[in-house]
Amino acid sequence: AQSVTQPDIHITVSEGASLELRCNYSYGATPYLFWYVQSPGQGLQLLLKYFSGDTLVQGIKGFEAEFKRSQSSFNLRKPSVHWSDAAEYFCAVHPSGGSYIPTFGRGTSLIVHP
Amino acid sequence: GAGVSQSPRYKVAKRGQDVALRCDPISGHVSLFWYQQALGQGPEFLTYFQNEAQLDKSGLPSDRFFAERPEGSVSTLKIQRTQQEDSAVYLCASSFGAAEGRETQYFGPGTRLLVL
């Protein structure tokens, strides 16, 4: 069975500082990997996704993520955080064959200090 | 164009009451998913429709949960005899094609259900 671990429940950064949110997955093959952001009272919005190829993927709002097969990780990064980035971030694994049911991590809440 | 919409946005129900949650997917989207998101957790899959066919309901937690999409567009998730453990945010998502891992799902804002 696939699983996703987001080890940090909360992350606090100062505005303008860099950010890295961790995501580790467990899956039998290379899955499809997604990062979503959820602002209060909103649904999940796709930030970026990885299927294959270049292991560094660019997303919206200045976010990027790097797939590291050896570490089963797909960490999300942003070089300079803005106050509007404060939200909940979810990493998700979508199966690469057969099932279509995604598995989400429990989320990391990002707090941005001015 | 319009995204996925859900109504009501908030619902307070007394234990034992029946509730119905509505999802309007993006027009033309074939696939529709329902998820349950408990407080402090990520979404968990409930059920999946391809057009009007419910192809997977493996995530429904009990037979009190029922979902339908009779004309292949709007979907309703019904919970009968609500219990306190049903309190959660219920998210609907749709995607353009038949569900497979690469498809991007577009999420609605959710319905926050509180059962007293």
- In angstroms, the CA B1 to CA B27 distance is 9
Task: Name the residue type at position A71.
Answer: Q
Above 60 in pLDDT, residue B1? no
Above 90 in pLDDT, residue B82? yes
- CB contact at 8 A, B105 and B43: no
Sheet (strand B19-24) strand order: B5-7, B19-24, B75-79, B65-68
Q: Which residues of B46-72 are buried (b: 16+ CB within 10 A; e: fewer)?
A: bbbbbeeebebeebbeeeebbbebeee
| Residue-level pLDDT at A98 | 67
**Lowest mean pLDDT across A43-47, B8-12, B20-24:** A43-47
Above 90 in pLDDT, residue B87? yes
- In angstroms, the CA A63 to CA A56 distance is 11
**Lowest mean pLDDT across A9-18, A61-70, A74-83, B101-110:** B101-110
- Measured between beta carbons, the chain B residues lying within 8 angstroms of A39 are none
Share of chain A above pLDDT 90, in %: 76
- Per-residue model confidence as pLDDT tens digits over A20-72: 999 999 987 778 999 999 998 888 999 999 988 889 999 999 999 999 999 99
- Residue A30, chain B, CB below 8 Å: the answer is no
- In angstroms, the CA A78 to CA A59 distance is 10
Q: What is the mean pLDDT of residues A95-108?
A: 85
φ, ψ for residue B84, nearest 5 deg: -60, -35
pLDDT band at B72, cuts 50/70/90? very high
How far is residue A103 from each of residues A18, A73, B76, measured CA to CA in Å? 27, 15, 23
- Per-residue model confidence as pLDDT tens digits over A16-26: 999 999 999 99
Above 90 in pLDDT, residue B62? yes
Q: Which domains does chain B have, with CATH numbers?
A: 5-97 (2.60.40.10)
Partner A, chain B 45-104, Cβ-Cβ below 8 Å: 45, 48, 56, 58-59, 91, 93, 99-104
| Residue-level pLDDT at A27 | 84
- CB contact at 8 A, B42 and A90: yes
- CB contact at 8 A, A6 and A21: yes
Q: Which sequence spans correspond to the domains of chain A?
A: 3-113
- Measured between beta carbons, the chain A residues lying within 8 angstroms of B44 are 104
- Residue A114, chain B, CB below 8 Å: the answer is no
Write the class of the CATH domain A3-113: mainly beta
pLDDT band at A1, cuts 50/70/90? confident
